[in-house]
Chains A and B, each alone.
Chain A
Amino acid sequence: MRSKFMALAVAGITAAATAGTALAADEQYVPMLVYKSGAYAPNGIPIAHGWEDYLKMINARDGGVNGVQMTWAECDTAYNNDRGVECYERLKQPTAAGVQPLSTGITYALIERATADEIPIFSSGYGRTSAAYGPVFPYVFSAPLTYWSGADVMVQYIADQEGGSLEGKKIALVYHDSAYGKEPIATLERLAEEEGFTLHLLPVAHPGLEQKATWLQIGRQIRPDWTLMWGWGVMNSTAIKEAAAVGYPMDRFIGIWWSGSEPDVLPAGAQANGYKSLGFHAPGSNYKALQDVLEHVYGGDEGAAKLRGWGDVLYNRGIFSMAMQVEAIRTAQGIHGEKTLTGAQVRDGWETLDLNDAKLSSLGFEGFTKPVQITCEDHEGGGQAFVQQWDGNAWNIISDWYMPRRDALREAYKADALAYAAEKGITPRDCS
């Protein structure tokens, strides 16, 4: 009985594998872990569309990357860690350019597997923060910012708003009670000590529909000067509604970049006006790369593009993160001089990726984001972030770009990464 099932399984899986990934000569394959179903689908869908559209645009506009057509296969993880692992195992190939897990939990689950398989993981603005330390995590890239950088930028912004000093201020952190939401706590605790503010931690249980008690505490008891949020999916819109329900001022409520997109604010209606969040790339569609997508993927049909989220925050994030991945592939092609690359070869491209201003504007991202330069040691790449605000119709950038104070952060990455290396018995690479 058991073996019969297995035989069936073999048949099914080989069929799927051959159908999905027949490789022609000049193709580069990108496995995509997406989530278009489940509790987090409203946020996962626009990102996946951004990825897909960018690759389509590259294929249509340039005939691929230096003539190498991009191919891809999707697998739906439902933001579920073990489904994510299964999807990864299903989609992985020696010639997989790299994988974007699109979930901090899945990133954690994949770090060891992908390292063993020599497939780069690109966790853009999420994932294991200390993986930014290249010597211990050779296959993980977290450009352009990590959560710790995000926390640092938030504190810098608040300090600016408060006239420079945070002494005696109260800051509350509302976070998704999971690996993702816990990431910034250590950094915020350190900054609280350094800058003299008090930090209140308020976890919210998955999926985040129940926040009444949390917001009663914030709005009626703690009354913090500022509230930060690490939320995802339905938790974001619920938080905004509950914040409004206790009369918390929206312009003192800042979300991380995963808590600042259209699906987060639209369900809250007018209550969300004034809500702020971080961003590391601009919202909107007024950039050449996005116009190219409109022209080459949608044939200029703006209505169709908008239906897929074109110009929305998360769609743009998908565009930007896929653009970085494509540039890593392009760089790697230059290094290795081959058409179809293995994951290990693409990794070399990542480690020499230099997206300076000139390069960004040649890609059509002028003013869209700040330069990123990845090295063997620094897998974060020195990105910057800004604060954006929702006005009821659109997200507007309301601050300058902030550079995270990375000296202290890098020390922290290194310490955490070395602790991991010690536990795992890994000898860090030499990057000098």
Chain B
Amino acid sequence: MLYREAGQFKTSYGADQAIFPILQDKLGMLVILALAVVVVPLLASTYMLNSILIPFLVFSMAAIGLNLLTGYCGQLSLGTGGFMACGAFFAYKLTTAFPELHIILVFLLSGLGTAMVGILFGIPSLRIKGFYLAVATLAAQFFLVWMFNKFDWWTNYSASGVISAPPREVLPGIFVTGTESEPVTKYYFLLGFVAVLALIAKNLVRSRIGRAWMAIRDMDIAAEIIGIRPLWTKLSAFAISSFYIGIAGALWAFVYTGSVEALAFEINRSFQVLFMIIIGGLGSILGSFLGAAFIVLLPILLNAGMLALDPTISSALVSHIEFMIFGALIVFFLIVEPHGLARLWALAKEKLRLWPFPY
């Protein structure tokens, strides 16, 4: 009833190719943005901001990055943690070496640096495919984390190998990193950053390069025959994906935790992001957000829920049961909808178009 595109006619190619061709989608998006900008900071407690919204936004960025590579280009990667570490340590070295460099520039540059690393580790993808590639990307994961852990040049010779974000301001007087930064400013900063980059990603996958990725994903030999260069296409996917993941790593270290050691980016981080895109939906930008929300919230909700039901329950049992439910829910979701939450949303929209009439 409410969600119907009847009567909305497209009069130009531009209108037909809009990201949100339907008025309701546009409005919905604006409402969500308005909620995110106005309502959420008003309602959210510091805990919500610090432990849910900020990591959610950071993970969304990482999930978009991995989704570009795995969801759109079909190259399964388990090296996300390693690339996030790259972003974090590049940003640290840059901002401590050039303190006057603007923090946004630092993040973008560290993303670029990670893209270079991504290309390097993407080269084997030209020969290796499927699970062989997935395991091969673990080489990147283990090597990169080891490198940042081992060579104390990366941490400016800190005795323990921990880096902590120096205070940096995004506008004069408004700090987004370091102790003086308010959670709300961090939230707005991240929201803006992620929104812009997500928009770019959305447009990227609708462009020529995105179509080339999808052709490679669906069948690389066929794609090669119709004139798509696998070398260029695969490496560009690795580069752009790593760019996003690198920025996510830098944001993780600088804006979310404020201090990290290389071990924070170990293999579990890679799996976590992979979960996000699979639960959220492979090949969907919206899915990256949904998956990130799901994976960030689920453990916290399970944990808090169990404590709310029975405050005396032992925290060990809570953790173990949380593991079990987490695993079971993942299996459950995969069985119910292997294409992820984004697909569920699409189905819901289909239903909405007809609602409340059966046809």
Determine chain B's interface SS by DSSP, over half rule: helix
Stretch at the interface among B16-24, B46-54, B229-237: B46-54
Tell me the residues in window 160-179 of chain B with beta carbons closer than 8 Å to chain A beta carbons.
160-162, 164, 166-167, 178-179
Tell me the residues in window 293-313 of chain B with beta carbons closer than 8 Å to chain A beta carbons.
293-294, 297, 300-301, 303-305, 307-308, 311
Q: Is A179 an interface residue (CB 8 A)?
A: yes
* A31-44 to B contact mask, C-beta < 8 Å, 1/0: 00010111001000
Tell which of A5, A74, A108 touches B259, judged by Cβ atoms closer than 8 Å: A108
Q: Is A202 an interface residue (CB 8 A)?
A: no
Q: Is B319 an interface residue (CB 8 A)?
A: yes
Q: Which residue of B lies closest to A206 (CB)?
A: B263
Chain B residues contacting A19 (CB-CB under 8 Å) are 307-308, 311
Tell me the residues in window 148-165 of chain A with beta carbons closer than 8 Å to chain B beta carbons.
none
Is the beta-carbon distance between B315 and A76 smaller than 8 angstroms?
yes
Tell which of A2, A38, A115, A180 touches B32, judged by Cβ atoms closer than 8 Å: A2
Given contacts A3-B35, A9-B297, A12-B301, contact A179 B289 (CB under 8 A): no
Tell which of B257, B289, B341 touches A109, judged by Cβ atoms closer than 8 Å: B257
A152 to chain B, nearest CB (A): 15
* B141-174 to A contact mask, C-beta < 8 Å, 1/0: 0000010011000001001111010110000000
Given contacts A36-B319, A416-B159, contact A10 B179 (CB under 8 A): no
Tell which of B40, B159, B167 touches A182, judged by Cβ atoms closer than 8 Å: B159
The answer for the CA separation of A272 and B39 in the assembled complex, in Å, is 60
Q: Is B132 an interface residue (CB 8 A)?
A: no
Q: Is B226 an interface residue (CB 8 A)?
A: no
Tell me the residues in window 1-49 of chain A with beta carbons closer than 8 Å to chain B beta carbons.
1-3, 5-6, 8-10, 12-13, 15-17, 19-20, 34, 36-38, 41, 45
Stretch at the interface among A83-91, A259-267, A278-286, A376-384: A83-91
Q: How large is the interface on B (under 10, 10 to 19, 20 to 34, 35 or more residues)?
A: 35 or more
Given contacts A2-B293, A182-B161, A183-B160, contact A78 B319 (CB under 8 A): yes
Is the beta-carbon distance between A82 and B55 smaller than 8 angstroms?
yes
Tell me the residues in window 179-215 of chain A with beta carbons closer than 8 Å to chain B beta carbons.
179-180, 182-183, 185-186, 203, 205-206
Chain B residues contacting A15 (CB-CB under 8 Å) are 304, 308
Determine chain A's interface SS by DSSP, over half rule: helix
Chain A residues contacting B271 (CB-CB under 8 Å) are none
Tell me the residues in window 50-91 of chain A with beta carbons closer than 8 Å to chain B beta carbons.
74-76, 78, 81-82, 85-86, 89-90
Tell which of B47, B48, B179, B264 touches A424, judged by Cβ atoms closer than 8 Å: B179
The answer for the CA separation of A302 and B314 in the assembled complex, in Å, is 22
B325 to chain A, nearest CB (A): 13
Chain B residues contacting A36 (CB-CB under 8 Å) are 314-316, 319
Tell which of A16, A37, A45, A89 touches B46, judged by Cβ atoms closer than 8 Å: A89
Given contacts A13-B48, A112-B258, A425-B167, contact A177 B149 (CB under 8 A): yes
Q: Which residue of B lies closest to A85 (CB)?
A: B257
Is the beta-carbon distance between B263 and A105 smaller than 8 angstroms?
yes
Is the beta-carbon distance between B48 and A10 smaller than 8 angstroms?
yes
The answer for the CA separation of A108 and B262 in the assembled complex, in Å, is 13
Chain A residues contacting B293 (CB-CB under 8 Å) are 2, 5
A94 to chain B, nearest CB (A): 11
Is the beta-carbon distance between A82 and B301 smaller than 8 angstroms?
no
Given contacts A36-B316, A85-B51, A109-B258, contact A1 B263 (CB under 8 A): no
The answer for the CA separation of A86 and B48 in the assembled complex, in Å, is 10
Q: Is B250 an interface residue (CB 8 A)?
A: no
Q: Is A128 an interface residue (CB 8 A)?
A: yes
The answer for the CA separation of A90 and B51 in the assembled complex, in Å, is 8
* B240-251 to A contact mask, C-beta < 8 Å, 1/0: 000000000000
Is the beta-carbon distance between A12 and B167 smaller than 8 angstroms?
no
Chain A residues contacting B259 (CB-CB under 8 Å) are 108-109, 111-112
Is the beta-carbon distance between A423 and B96 smaller than 8 angstroms?
yes
- By Cβ-Cβ distance, the 3 closest A-B pairs, closest first, are A36-B316, A37-B319, A16-B304
- Interface contacts beyond A92-B47, A424-B178: sample of 7 additional A-B pairs, CB < 8 Å, sorted by A: A6-B53, A16-B304, A41-B316, A75-B303, A76-B319, A90-B51, A177-B150
Q: Point out residues on A near B: beta carbons under 8 Å.
A: 1-3, 5-6, 8-10, 12-13, 15-17, 19-20, 34, 36-38, 41, 45, 74-76, 78, 81-82, 85-86, 89-90, 92, 104-105, 108-109, 111-113, 115-116, 128-130, 177-180, 182-183, 185-186, 203, 205-206, 416, 423-425
Q: Point out residues on B near A: beta carbons under 8 Å.
A: 32, 35-36, 39-40, 43-48, 50-53, 55, 96, 146, 149-150, 156, 159-162, 164, 166-167, 178-179, 256-261, 263-264, 266, 289-290, 293-294, 297, 300-301, 303-305, 307-308, 311, 314-316, 318-320, 323, 341, 345
User: What are 16 sample pairs from A and B whose C-beta atoms fall under 8 A apart?
Assistant: A1-B345, A2-B290, A3-B32, A3-B35, A5-B297, A13-B47, A13-B52, A36-B315, A81-B263, A105-B263, A109-B258, A112-B258, A178-B263, A179-B160, A182-B160, A206-B266
